[in-house]
Amino acid sequence: MSPQFDAVLFDLLTALLDSWTLWNDVAGSPARGRQWRAAYLRRTYGAGHYRPYEVLVAEAAREVGLPCGMAGLLAARYDELCAWPDVDAALAALVQGGVRLGVATNCSERLGRRAVRRIAAPFAAVITAERAGYYKPDPRPYQLALSELRVMPERCLFVAGSGYDLIGATRVGLPVWWHDRIGMEKPAGAPEPVRHTRDLAGLAHFVLAIGPGTVAN
């Protein structure tokens, strides 16, 4: 059976990496970390044209009553980021199946490159908001990734970590698997993904083994 997709494009900081634990630790508690992260997500997904990532993180900290210096503390600890437990096996299976991998992340180039090194997989495209010049869900980061992966949108699965990517990726024609690890609220108006899961179990099978005519449940 032929693969359903030739490439898989991932959100980096939520779909592949457990960045939430680091944010919570820097903030001092899970509740404060989640508030901070939610404020940051609203800012980045509403930013459009690229503004320095670290500035948006600092603004989000101030919005929820945390010191702006938290942004620098978070950046200093980026090398502590860890992949979710099932990521390595899922990516290895995709690579073995001949699927090209990429990431599109709302991050600075410096921090995005540091983060992607925390994952032991060969990425054919690493697109940051800084390099694209725009934050997701603007179409340009996804389009740049598709260009570098040399694949048409319908032949590339996007694995989202945040519900906001449901909007942006779908607009450029990417089918979306929502790896909703922490249980986020789906943004108003966001379309339904082809899969909505709390882990990556079955991802490689979905990409490699399910034929184009199979209906996703």
CATH classification of the domain holding 112: 3.40.50.1000
Decide which of 31, 53, 79 is a domain's last residue.
79
pLDDT tens string 80-131: 999 999 999 999 999 999 999 999 999 999 999 999 999 999 999 999 999 9
| pLDDT value for 187 | 87
* Ramachandran category for residue 142: left, alpha or beta (phi over 0 → left; psi -120 to 50 → alpha): alpha
Measured distance CA(22)–CA(82) in Å, rounded: 9
Query: CB within 8 A of 85, min separation 6: which ones?
Result: none
Mean pLDDT to the nearest integer, 167-183: 95
Together in a domain, 107 and 188: yes
| pLDDT value for 1 | 58
Together in a domain, 26 and 121: no
Beta carbons of 22 and 80 less than 8 angstroms apart = yes
pLDDT at residue 166 tops 80: yes
pLDDT-based confidence at residue 42 (cuts at 50, 70, 90): confident
From edge to edge, which strands make up the β-sheet containing 100-105?
A: 125-128, 100-105, 7-10, 156-160, 176-179, 195-197
Residue 217 inside a domain? The answer is no
Question: Structural domain of residue 188, as residue ranges?
Answer: 7-18+81-208
| pLDDT value for 213 | 42
Kindly report the average pLDDT of the chain as a whole number: 93
Together in a domain, 48 and 93: no
Residue 192 inside a domain? The answer is yes
pLDDT tens string 128-145: 999 999 999 999 999 999
Instruction: Please tell me the total count of domains within the chain.
Output: 2
| pLDDT value for 210 | 52
| pLDDT value for 216 | 39
Nearest to 174 by CA among 130, 201, 136, 133: 136
Between 175 and 45, residue with greater pLDDT: 175
Residue bearing tokens 């101030």: 62
